[in-house]
Amino acid sequence: MEVLLTGGAGFIGTAIARALLADGHTVHVFDRCSLDRRFTSVPGVTSVIGDLRDPGVVAVALRGVDAVCHQAAKVGLGVDFADAPDYAAANDLGTAVLLAAMARAHVRRLVLAGSMVVYGEGRYDCAEHGTVPAPPRRVADLDAGRFEPRCPRCGAELTPGLVDEDAPADPRNVYAATKLHQEHLASAWARSCAGTAVSLRYHNVYGPGLPRDTPYAGVAALFRSALARGESPRVFEDGGQRRDFVHVTDVASANAAALASLDDREPGSFRAYNVGSGEVRTVGDLASALADAYGGPAPTVTGEYRLGDVRHITADSRRLRADLGWRPRVSFADGMAELVTESLDSYARN
């Protein structure tokens, strides 16, 4: 297929481009940045430099395209709520312009980069009341070092579990809200245009090409950058936050599998899939594994917090495995060992 890959010059986009090329697709990368050395003289790759909010440029990029793999987004928690217009412009408006152009160009296949952030907190079970929603985090609790959510009905400790795709959405920061809105737009587009759309809800993606330590970088990149400076990774809260760290090549293979599945789907359909490794780890585990692989220094647990963060969010990826036959290939231990030997790229963003 002729595939338009938005955000294809970024961290995840670059890995997806390689996976699509390996499957025999022709890849047209749409990004605000040039491809630089990543795909210089690589057969099967062309590039368009532009802004997704520009309908004219997007229309040109869609000529002759069979499918779109939409990775372009402003990512991360952000600095504060003043970032909201930038997130909405990049993620909501950019996606709306793209989908409108796809409707006009009669492009009917879409794979969307979703995110686990649409769930807010993960699944929690109370011994007395069963599965319950985690209440909003309170500043007074966090200031006192009480990080674990309590049952909203009886106040008892909760047991965290795996969240599946049928869990209710509860976005708890601006980025999360825009990622959920992207899914709603994609679903509306599919119904209106008889298209087929898949959203891949990535969990914490890491691997070669992670962005440098910026306010928008993921925690693995921040820890890795600190170690490279000879500093201890700074672990917020008590380090017990549960996450699912999934390697970027596994995310790329999930995109390739989703793309291959589109022709077998009912026109007008939208389907979401979690993309996680299936290995539950804590943020403290991540910091320790990186520090050990790098040879120190050891992590520092700070007790600091960000109100927009969630305590526990880990994936149940059985739907993706069952429907598409996808399997993660890179273990946490192997991925951490690889990460400390790789330089972090200043250009990689998504």
Shortest CA distance to 316 belongs to which of 185, 101, 161? 161
Helices 332-339 & 283-294 angle (0-180, nearest 10): 50
Among 286, 292, 76, residue whose Cα is nearest residue 174: 76
Choice among 124, 175, 202, 294 that is catalytic: 175
Distance CA(10)–CA(5), nearest Å, equals 11
CB burial of residue 276 (10 Å; 0-12, 13-18, 19+) = buried
Q: Which two tokens stand for residue 269?
A: 């359909």
3-state secondary structure of 48: strand
CA distances from 185 to 94, 111, 199, 202 (A): 11, 13, 11, 18
Q: Which amino acid type is present at position 195?
A: G
* Alpha helix stretches (DSSP H) within the chain: 11-22, 55-61, 84-87, 94-105, 139-143, 174-193, 219-228, 248-261, 283-294, 318-324, 332-339
Q: Is 175 tagged catalytic?
A: yes
Cα 224-288-328 angle, rounded to 5 deg:
75
Q: Which residues are identified as catalytic?
A: 175
